Amino acid sequence: MIRVCAVLAVLMVSASQAGFAQCSDADKAALEAFDKAWGDAGLRGDRAFLDNVYAPGFMGHNPGGAVDRATTISNTLRDFERNRANPLPLVVPDRYVITCTPVTATITHRNTVPPAAGSMGAPFYSRSVHFLEKRGNRWQVASSTSHPLSDAGLLAYMEFDWNDAAKRRDAGWVEKNYASFATDISSRTGGIESKAQAVESMRTGKDVLESLELSDLTTRVEGDAAVVTGVNHVKGRDAQGKPFDRRVRFTDTFVKKDGRWQVWATQGTNIQ
């Protein structure tokens, strides 16, 4: 069965909408810090902090059903006690998308749970969405939901991770996420590279990538194969320091191997 997804449409929606124009970078940084402090409070079983975080009338909506404020805090403290006796891998939040007005905010982020130490399993991924209200000059969580990521969502996030790796010249990302038989066709030269050559190109490339912006992402998944198409807007400077501004329409093919998605083939075409 083929699943087609206009990927992360809800996740990325409205960051530029007029209703959220008042959400400055400083506001977003403060809300991300709030979210992480909330997570840390759960890890240390800090009931007083949690009592202040959850608004009266809070309702959580998870795959297991709806839970009220008291049950949510009780479950968090129960998990703290269980984890103290049998520590589990820490959940790592990232890929924050935050919108806000002076009195409301929405925080969306990815969650990654690494496999247990010594395990050969793949990480587990989910996404959380939190709705906040400012009450008495402090943020409180009015509602929250979370769900496991679909394959389409995983692949979309993988594209964003790929861009970040390219920006910092992270050859290790290519080594880890390209299948052994992967091929990489350059949008600039039309040349084809093996995985080993792509790793070396990432490591030794002289271009300085200043910004990479994805758009028009669409993902199709059938069994253990998937195709992601989209446009990557890349700005930077070449080896001679000359600025460039490229838009590349790409097709990335993935295969699920050893329990995780890996790049099978990638090809890009420069567009106006």
Same domain, 138 and 180: no
**Inside any domain, residue 5:** no
**161 and 141 share one domain:** no
Say whether both 21 and 124 belong to one domain: yes
- As a whole-number percent, the residues of the chain with pLDDT over 70 amount to 91
Q: What does the alpha-carbon distance between residue 135 and residue 151 come to, in Å, rounded to a whole number?
A: 38
In a domain, 2, yes or no: no
**What pTM was estimated for this model as a whole?**
0.83
Q: Quick one: pLDDT at residue 100? A: 96
The 10s digit of each residue's pLDDT in 62-83 is 888 899 999 999 999 999 999 9
Domain count, the chain: 2
Q: Which helix (H) or strand (E) holds 135?
A: strand 124-135
90-102 average pLDDT score = 95
Residue 229 has pLDDT above 50, yes or no: yes
Question: CB burial class (10 A; 0-12, 13-18, 19+) of residue 228?
Answer: buried
Which phi and psi angles does 46 have, rounded to 5°?
A: -85, 90
User: 177: domain range?
Assistant: 151-271
Give backbone dihedrals phi and psi of 128, rounded to 5 degrees, phi first: -115, 145
Q: Look up the CATH number of the domain holding residue 124.
A: 3.10.450.50
pLDDT bucket at 115, cuts 50 / 70 / 90: confident
Predicted confidence at residue 64, as pLDDT, reads: 80
DSSP 33-71: HHHHHHHHHHHTT-HHHHHHHEEEEEEEEETTEEEEHHH
Instruction: State percent of the chain over pLDDT 90.
Output: 78
* Residue where a domain terminates, one of 91, 122, 148: 148
pLDDT at residue 14, as a whole number: 36
36, part of any domain: yes
Q: Among 114, 148, 182, which residue terminates a domain?
A: 148
Contacts of 223 (CB under 8 A, 6+ apart): 256
Which pLDDT does position 122 carry in this prediction?
Answer: 78
Q: What is the pLDDT of residue 62?
A: 84
3-class state of residue 99 by DSSP: strand
H helix count then E strand count, the chain:
7, 13
